[in-house]
Structure 1
Amino acid sequence: MTPTVELGLGLLAGAAVGAVVHRGDFSMYAAFLEARERRFGPSLRAWLLALAAQALVVNALAGSDVLATPVRRVAPALAVAGGLLLGAGMVLSRGCALAILARLGTGSAGSGLAVIGAGLGAAVAALVTASLPDPRPGGPVRVPEVLGMSPVLGLAVAVVAAVPLAVTRPITAAPRRWSWQATGLALGGLGVVAWGLGAAAGWPWGLSTAEPARALLLAAMLERSEPMNFGVGLLAGVPAGAWASARRWGPVRWRSPGGGELTLRFAGGVLTGAGGGLAGGCVVAGAITNLAVLSIAASIATVSAIAGAAVAAALLGDRARVGVRRLPVVRPRL
């Protein structure tokens, strides 16, 4: 497969993801706030559905030649540190990496600064990790391996993630936005597609945007060329897809928060990029893509990200909700 084809496949996958994130108004940060405020809102539901759908497919195909799902080996200490930084950065920048990239495509100056900060943070993390010894080869990288259980355990994750969705009251989607069902199924399906297309193009990391951001900025800092691969196409495709969706469904407009808020967005981007570089992926890559295959590092990083986000949100107070749409309270019906 030529580099041009790899780049093109990445662009298509990224554009599809960007369009879904925009139409569904999805963000892992919004999902965290909904859980923190005990609101079973659309982003939290969409995340659980995406996780369930992807876990169901990738674990059903585990061990076959149809779909390869390699897991990156990350030292537990780096997964914890990276997760904490990811969570705090998500709060400061007002969104996960995919949401920030999508908002960049619709004209958000704050998201633009967060993207620049994320690239810088990822490059710094790469320099730090390059000076550390590689994790020792061997040993388990997935939760079932630690427990001595079959990879079918991943199917249980799909069931557990889907149960709350079956016992909650329905909610109405915002005007001109997708329902959480459509958003979750689309994200889960695109996660599987990214595994397949990416692996065929030599990119076995699914929907991760942290790695291409790090590689591009590090190449710019060191004045070296970086191959235009699937990951780079994925990174560029997300804002492009969000822009195309916003052109059709609205809105595309230049918007910039106040100076203090811009500083927070940039700082959040730096923390997000650094955290993704240490933990081996962004929040979406960890909490959806790699959690679906029961990666030990992703499990540690996801829990750490929740803790980091909780601390940052508590410190910011009401400012943690700036730029996040408030929705009615919807709690599980038990």
Structure 2
Amino acid sequence: MDETTFQSLHATVLAAAFAVSAVFGALAQRTHFCTMGAISDVVNMGDTVRLRMWAMAIGVAMIGFHLLAAAGLVDPTQTIYWSGRVIWASALLGGALFGFGMVLGSGCGSKTLVRLGGGSLKALVVFFVMGFAAYATLRGITAVLRDRTVDRLAFDLQPGSPLPAWLAQQFGWAPSSTALVLGVGVGAALVVWAAVHPDFRASGNAWLGGLGIGATVAAMWAVSGWLGFVPEHPQTLEPVYVATQSGRMEALTFTAPMAYTLDWLIYYSDANKVLTLGVVSVLGVVAGAAAMALATRTFRWEGFAGTRDTALHIVGALCMGVGGVTAMGCTIGQGLSGVSTLSLTSVLALVGIVLGALAGFRFQLWLLERD
């Protein structure tokens, strides 16, 4: 592949990533897909429809990822979720901090971008603060703290943290067959569990959100891992995943990409700062949500109710930025993309996010009772 063809492929991958993320944003806006909202509905109303929508999205993403792998279109070992080191403390504590923060900040990272597209100035503040905190935890003062504390509490799981790989090694099974059976089996079970509830079956939005959001996660795996894979870079002559920040196959995730989006905007004139899959995903979600909000006449300007509302959102954004990077992903990065690979670290991060969200709801209740 010559340099001109490589640059053309780079642009194609970015355009495809933007399109997929725009569809994600439009679907999330239309269906009210929200992890925090799903947990809140269960806790406060006993309503499981959005939780089932979330479960169906995980199931569809899981089936899609493992079918892509079985077809040889993507290499599961080339994701950040394949690492044999399980950072259990970072996943649990970072996830809990993120979950707590998303309650205070009126939604997770993806919901923040969707709300921003819908006209929320509160979400704009959360975006900037969350991106700043995420960047500090990637490369700044909280990165040093993270590296010297929770990241050191880990254990090795060979040949990798995804459960199918570990099970295949333990029982002498074929790794590829184990991954396909387990991935499709667990994914199908989640889809069936979501669909059996009559309230879910009666909701068109629930079906659209569950199937559509899950499909966008699988589609991004294909964009990055299949369309964007080049066996031989024209300059380095090494395999490369085009337009990725990590150099590996990536899917939808939003905490670190928010930080890189701010970095790209601030240093735009620096030729070394180029668009990546993560940055265009952030921009795509906002664009898709804005288009849907305008099309459905739900676009509304929204501001803070007062000083305490502002303070809570700022604290929540800080928690999400620090927690999301510490856990190596948010409700989408770990809760959907990571869990779709059946990574143990991703499962632990998701558990932490749910526990943190429950603590956040308790804190909000305490504030109401105190008032």
The 5-angstrom pairing of residues 36-185 of structure 1 reads: 36-37=43-44, 39-69=46-76, 70-72=79-81, 73=83, 75-127=87-139, 128-129=142-143, 132=147, 139=158, 140-147=160-167, 148=170, 150-151=178-179, 152-170=181-199, 173=203, 179-185=205-211
Report the counterpart of residue 214 of structure 2 in structure 1. Answer: 188
Report the counterpart of residue 254 of structure 1 in structure 2. Answer: 301
User: Which of 26, 29, 47 is residue 33 of structure 2 equivalent to?
Assistant: 26
Quick check: which has more Rg, 1 or 2?
Answer: 2
Post-superposition offset of 1:219: 6.2
Q: Deviations over 1:213-242 (max 9, x none)?
A: 223345678996422022111111101111
- Identity, in percent, stands at 24
TM-score (ref. length: structure 2): 0.77
Report the counterpart of residue 332 of structure 1 in structure 2. Answer: none
Report the counterpart of residue 205 of structure 1 in structure 2. Answer: 250
What amino acid is the match of 2:254? Answer: T
Is the CA contact 2:264–2:275 (under 8 Å) kept in the aligned structure 1? Answer: no
Report the counterpart of residue 233 of structure 1 in structure 2. Answer: 280
Select between 125-134 and 267-276 the one with higher mean Cα deviation: 125-134
* Whole-angstrom CA distance in 2 between matches of 1:166 and 1:192: 20
Pair 1:290 & 2:312 matched: no
Q: Deviations over 1:135-164 (max 9, x none)?
A: 898732112233436212222321331343
Is the CA contact 1:18–1:102 (under 8 Å) kept in the aligned structure 2? Answer: yes
Post-superposition offset of 1:186: 0.5
Q: Deviations over 1:153-201 (max 9, x none)?
A: 222321331343243223555xxxx510011100011111011112333
Post-superposition offset of 1:93: 0.9
Select between 178-187 and 232-241 the one with higher mean Cα deviation: 178-187
* Whole-angstrom CA distance in 1 between matches of 2:156 and 2:199: 47
Is the CA contact 2:49–2:199 (under 8 Å) kept in the aligned structure 1? Answer: no
Q: Does the C-alpha gap of structure 1 residues 166 and 234 become closer, same or farther in structure 2, counting only changes over 3 Å?
A: closer
Report the counterpart of residue 272 of structure 1 in structure 2. Answer: 320
DSSP-derived class of the 2:321 partner: helix
Q: Does the C-alpha gap of structure 1 residues 194 and 264 become closer, same or farther in structure 2, counting only changes over 3 Å?
A: same
Q: Does the C-alpha gap of structure 1 residues 102 and 300 become closer, same or farther in structure 2, counting only changes over 3 Å?
A: same
What amino acid is the match of 1:239? Answer: V
* Whole-angstrom CA distance in 1 between matches of 2:295 and 2:254: 25
DSSP-derived class of the 1:62 partner: helix
Post-superposition offset of 1:205: 2.0
* Whole-angstrom CA distance in 2 between matches of 1:222 and 1:277: 21
* Whole-angstrom CA distance in 2 between matches of 1:214 and 1:79: 19
What amino acid is the match of 2:46? Answer: R
Unaligned runs of 5+ in 1: 321-334
Post-superposition offset of 1:254: 0.9
Report the counterpart of residue 244 of structure 1 in structure 2. Answer: 291
Is the CA contact 2:131–2:256 (under 8 Å) kept in the aligned structure 1? Answer: no
Report the counterpart of residue 355 of structure 2 in structure 1. Answer: 307
Select between 159-168 and 91-100 the one with higher mean Cα deviation: 159-168
Is the CA contact 1:117–1:268 (under 8 Å) kept in the aligned structure 2? Answer: no
Post-superposition offset of 1:102: 0.7
Post-superposition offset of 1:130: 6.2
Pair 1:11 & 2:23 matched: no
What amino acid is the match of 1:155? Answer: V
What amino acid is the match of 1:120? Answer: F
What amino acid is the match of 2:72? Answer: D
Alignment size in residue pairs: 316
Q: Does the C-alpha gap of structure 1 residues 143 and 137 become closer, same or farther in structure 2, counting only changes over 3 Å?
A: closer
* Whole-angstrom CA distance in 2 between matches of 1:267 and 1:104: 18
Is the CA contact 2:14–2:277 (under 8 Å) kept in the aligned structure 1? Answer: yes
* Whole-angstrom CA distance in 1 between matches of 2:299 and 2:283: 18
Unaligned runs of 5+ in 2: 1-5, 172-177, 229-241
What amino acid is the match of 1:162? Answer: V
What amino acid is the match of 1:299? Answer: V
Post-superposition offset of 1:61: 3.6
* Whole-angstrom CA distance in 2 between matches of 1:182 and 1:25: 11
* Whole-angstrom CA distance in 2 between matches of 1:154 and 1:64: 14
What amino acid is the match of 2:62? Answer: A
Q: Does the C-alpha gap of structure 1 residues 56 and 319 become closer, same or farther in structure 2, counting only changes over 3 Å?
A: farther
Post-superposition offset of 1:303: 0.5
* Whole-angstrom CA distance in 2 between matches of 1:205 and 1:35: 31
